[in-house]
Every structure is written in C-alpha cells, then in structure tokens.
Chain A
Amino acid sequence: MIEFHLDARSGVAPYQQLIQQVRHALRLGLLREGDQLPTVKDVVGLLAINPNTVLKAYRELEYQGLAAARPGVGTFVTKTLSDASLAAHGPLRQDLRRWLGRARQAGLDDESIEALFMNTFRAVAGEDVA
C-alpha cells in the first residue's frame, strides 16, 4: 500500500498530485496489478483533504484505465505502467550519475543543472513532435 503526501506549495492541484504519485509508484513498480489503493477514508485521515479530491483522483485513474473501483471493497490497480523499460533504468541511472558528476565538476550549481536539463528536455520533446 502506498502512502500519499501533499505539497501545498507546488502549484499543482491536489488531485493531480495524487494521480501523479500513483502513476509514479506504478512506474517504479511500487504498485502492481491487483494492489489496493488506500481507501478514501484513510487518505483524508492522513492528509486532511476533502474526500471529493481523492474521489476525483481515483475516478481519473479509472478513466485512464489504471484502476477500478469495487463497491464496498476498495479501489484496485488494474494496469501497471512499468514495462520492459524498467530493465533499462539501471544503466540509465548510472549514465545520469556520471553526467551529474561532470556537470558539478564544471561548476554548475543545482539551479543551473535543472535549468539545463529542463531546457534540453523540452527542446528534444519539441523536436520529437515536429
């Protein structure tokens, strides 16, 4: 069972944050098919948010085909997002570590690294679309 958290200052709507956290967990294999998502009651009992927010998030996940609600029982994961690409995570992570090391050695601070990455990421994404 995963546990949610909320970043009040992220500017992302709470229900979006919940969706993102579920998708993230799915991707990392922390959530697998058939796992139960925390009940609405448990989530609001922990986060002190409106139950509607959780319901909205779970409905959206259902709509995305990732989960399904069983009345009276709970909401369960129906599909996983992690796929074969999980195997590639290991080497990719290694490469990333090396790159980060080089960036630091070149004198970039955290903000510059992040800006450089996001810029390049967006540019490449744009090229992919084009």
Chain B
Amino acid sequence: MKGKTTMLRSVNPSAEAGPVGRARSTALGAILLTWRQVRAQVLLAFGLLALVAIVAIITGPHLVHLYDVNVAPCQSHNDCSSASSAFLLNDHFLQATLNTLVLVAPALTGMFWGAPLISRELETGTYRLVWTQSLTRGRWLAVKIGLVGLASMAVSGLLSLIVTWWSSPFDRVNLNRFTPAMFGERGLTPIGYAAFAFAFGVAAGVLIRRAVPTMAATLAAVVAARLAIGYLVRPHLVAPIRSTMPFPAGGAGPTAVPGGWTLSQQTINAAGHVIGQNGGIGSNGGFGFQQNSNGTLVLQGVGTCPGKPPVQLARSPHPGFLQACVKHFGLRDVLTYQPASRYWAFQWYETAIFLALALALAGFSFWWVRRRLT
C-alpha cells in the first residue's frame, strides 16, 4: 500500500447517496442520455406530426361541412353515386398523402429508431463506454427500449388518430375501412405495427450488430408481417360469416358489404362445386349465354338450358326463361365476409397480436444482451 504523506486528496463534497438514491439517479441519467441521443429525430418526427395536425385541423371541418351539405341528404334516398364521386375528389392529394404517412410511419420509426438503437452502439464500440459507467446493461436497455419504443408508438398512434378523424367523411362514403388496403391505416393497428417494427429492429440489431443491414432487415420484416397478417391471419381471426343467396338471372355481380370485408363471393351449382367468383360464372365473374342453331340457349360455363326460350324481339333472352334455367342448375351465391360490426374487435385483436410479438421481441433482446452477448 502506498503511504502518501505528501498527497493532496481530492474530496468530493457531493458524496455517496444511499443505494436507492444511486439507482434512481442513474436510471434518470440513462433517460437523459437516451433523450440526448434521439433528441433530433424525435423532435423532427413530432414537428412533422404537429404540421400534419395543423393541416388537418384547417381542412377537416370544411370537409365535414361539404359532406353534410352534399352527401348526407342523398344518402337517405340512396341515389348518391354522383354526389359521392364528386365529394371524393376533394383534397385528393391530401387524402393520398395522409394515407401514405400512416402506412409508412410504423416502418420508418422501426427502421430509424429501433434498428440503430443497439446495433449502432455495438458497431461503433460505444457500448464499451456506456456499459462501464455505473449502471447495468439491463437498466440501460430498459430505459432505451421503453423510452424510444413508447415514442415510436406515440408517433404512429397520434398520426392514426389525426388521419382517422380527418378521413371520417371519406370513410363514410367509401365504407372500405375493413378492407386490407385500409385496415392498417386507421384506428389502433398502426400502434401495434409501430411497436412490432421497433421491437424487431432492436432484436435484429442485437444479432446483426450493424446499423444499415438491420434497417434493411427491419423493413423486410415489417412488410412481410403486414402482408402475412392481412392475407393469412386476419381473415380467420373470427370465423367469417357464410351466407347463401339466390343467384338472380343476369348474374349477381359483386355484392357490397358496406363497412365490412368481403372475403369471397362464390357461385356454386347444385352439386356444391364452385363454378364462379365475384357473383358470376368463371374466374372473372361474368355471365354469358349463347344461342344454338337449334334455338336452345347455352349458359356459358354451366350447360344447356332445358327447353326452348320464347322468341324475343330484342337480343336478350326472356328473363323468366333465364331464371328457370338458373334454378334448373341450382346456382347459388355464397358470400363469405366479416360484418362491419366486427371492425373494432378485429382492430383490438390485431393490435394485441402485434403488441404481444413486440413484447416477445423485446424480451428476447433483453435476454440476449444480458446473458448471451459476448
């Protein structure tokens, strides 16, 4: 041991707080450090969000007014097609822009906030600086994931809130919010996507350890996940309703389920085989017939109608005859769909699925960093 008789001892008056005080202060310190690291990007994101909010607030009420004046009255007597089309043209650019923003926001925050969160520290070696300060890896990670993850979810959540509110007149006209194109751009689902994208970015970054490849992997994962959920999982979250309807002469044509989600509309014959889609015969859902030389009528894709159609002056066959023909073959329409009433249930389920995935990925990141990394 050195005996320092001529030493100057530097004394720190702000001496040791108790263990709890220490733990609390380094957690606060980790929050401050994380904020300093992401400050610029977070301020940018929320600045853009504010801009969007301002634009929405400026233009929104006017749209509601237009809707009330032009579209609402005609809806009661159901002759809205021209008024609706005209209304939908309003602020067309803004519609597209806002929808795009909600579509990409979760992926963007996942790529730019989640992917580099750990991977950049591993890549640049700064983990060797920050993990040897007076806080454990676990605490550091918890603060980073918690703070930035919540910010990601807030961005997408608030954006979805603004856009859902602003678009509600259009949505009331289009009645398409349950369809795959729009389901992920309204309501709660963007929050779930944002959490998943962020957590995936963090977990991938911990494994890949370099920022740019992690960003690419995150983008790919988000796209794949949203496609998978939309086409493989969501249709079956709750067993869809199958309803059988008569197949009118002239073909049914695609049946609209207002505010709901048509999964399929199939034409079946007496034997129960599917012979057509979208309310018609064949894969393109058409309805065609041919007159034979001997006067009999052939329903295309089905068969020859029994009997002989009565002579008509016009080219189109007798409706009654066609109806009997359809009945002869036992054609029916089977519509498989999710009703509009289930919309919010689906929103909650899907958001819950993605939040659960996000939690699992975050848990993995924790485990990997604390137990397995190096």
Question: Does A touch B (CB under 8 Å) in the complex?
Answer: yes
Chain A residues with CB under 8 Å of chain B are 39-41, 51-52, 55, 58, 69, 71-75
B residues in contact with A39, CB < 8 Å: 6, 8
* Cβ contacts A to B, 8 pairs, < 8 Å: A40-B7, A41-B7, A55-B4, A55-B5, A69-B6, A71-B5, A73-B6, A75-B6
| Size category, B interface | under 10
Question: Are A51 and B5 within 8 A (Cβ)?
Answer: no
Residue of chain B at shortest CB distance from A40: B6
9 further contact pairs, Cβ within 8 A, besides A51-B2, A69-B6: A39-B6, A39-B8, A40-B7, A41-B7, A51-B4, A52-B2, A55-B4, A55-B5, A75-B5
Q: Considering the chains assembled together, what is the distance between the CA atoms of A120 and B2 in angstroms?
A: 43
B residues in contact with A71, CB < 8 Å: 5-6
Chain B residues with CB under 8 Å of chain A are 2-8
Residue of chain A at shortest CB distance from B8: A41
Q: Considering the chains assembled together, what is the distance between the CA atoms of A74 and B2 in angstroms?
A: 16
A59 to chain B, nearest CB (A): 9
B residues in contact with A74, CB < 8 Å: 6
A residues in contact with B4, CB < 8 Å: 40, 51, 55
A residues in contact with B2, CB < 8 Å: 51-52, 55
A44 to chain B, nearest CB (A): 11
Q: Considering the chains assembled together, what is the distance between the CA atoms of A74 and B7 in angstroms?
A: 8
Q: Considering the chains assembled together, what is the distance between the CA atoms of A51 and B2 in angstroms?
A: 9
A residues in contact with B5, CB < 8 Å: 55, 69, 71, 75
A3 to chain B, nearest CB (A): 17
Give me the 8 closest cross-chain CB pairs, A-B, nearest first: A69-B5, A71-B5, A40-B6, A74-B6, A39-B6, A75-B6, A52-B2, A69-B6
Q: Considering the chains assembled together, what is the distance between the CA atoms of A52 and B2 in angstroms?
A: 7
Q: Considering the chains assembled together, what is the distance between the CA atoms of A73 and B6 in angstroms?
A: 6
Q: Considering the chains assembled together, what is the distance between the CA atoms of A75 and B3 in angstroms?
A: 14
B77 to chain A, nearest CB (A): 95
A residues in contact with B3, CB < 8 Å: 55
Residue of chain A at shortest CB distance from B5: A69
Q: Considering the chains assembled together, what is the distance between the CA atoms of A95 and B250 in angstroms?
A: 137
Residue of chain A at shortest CB distance from B7: A40
B121 to chain A, nearest CB (A): 33
Residue of chain A at shortest CB distance from B3: A55
B67 to chain A, nearest CB (A): 79
Residue of chain B at shortest CB distance from A50: B2
Q: Considering the chains assembled together, what is the distance between the CA atoms of A39 and B6 in angstroms?
A: 7
Q: Considering the chains assembled together, what is the distance between the CA atoms of A55 and B4 in angstroms?
A: 8
A30 to chain B, nearest CB (A): 20
Q: Considering the chains assembled together, what is the distance between the CA atoms of A69 and B6 in angstroms?
A: 7
Residue of chain B at shortest CB distance from A71: B5
Residue of chain B at shortest CB distance from A74: B6
Q: Considering the chains assembled together, what is the distance between the CA atoms of A71 and B5 in angstroms?
A: 5
A71 to chain B, nearest CB (A): 5
B residues in contact with A41, CB < 8 Å: 7-8
Q: Considering the chains assembled together, what is the distance between the CA atoms of A39 and B5 in angstroms?
A: 10
A104 to chain B, nearest CB (A): 46
Q: Considering the chains assembled together, what is the distance between the CA atoms of A72 and B8 in angstroms?
A: 7
Residue of chain B at shortest CB distance from A75: B6
B residues in contact with A58, CB < 8 Å: 6
Residue of chain A at shortest CB distance from B9: A72
A75 to chain B, nearest CB (A): 6
B167 to chain A, nearest CB (A): 70
A42 to chain B, nearest CB (A): 10
A residues in contact with B8, CB < 8 Å: 39, 41
Q: Considering the chains assembled together, what is the distance between the CA atoms of A70 and B4 in angstroms?
A: 11
Residue of chain B at shortest CB distance from A37: B6
Q: Considering the chains assembled together, what is the distance between the CA atoms of A58 and B4 in angstroms?
A: 11
B7 to chain A, nearest CB (A): 7
Q: Considering the chains assembled together, what is the distance between the CA atoms of A78 and B6 in angstroms?
A: 16
Residue in A58, A72, A73 with the greatest tally of chain B CB atoms within 10 Å: A72
B residues in contact with A52, CB < 8 Å: 2
B residues in contact with A73, CB < 8 Å: 6
A residues in contact with B6, CB < 8 Å: 39-40, 58, 69, 71-75
B206 to chain A, nearest CB (A): 41
B179 to chain A, nearest CB (A): 74
B residues in contact with A55, CB < 8 Å: 2-5
Residue of chain A at shortest CB distance from B2: A52
Q: Considering the chains assembled together, what is the distance between the CA atoms of A89 and B334 in angstroms?
A: 125
B223 to chain A, nearest CB (A): 58
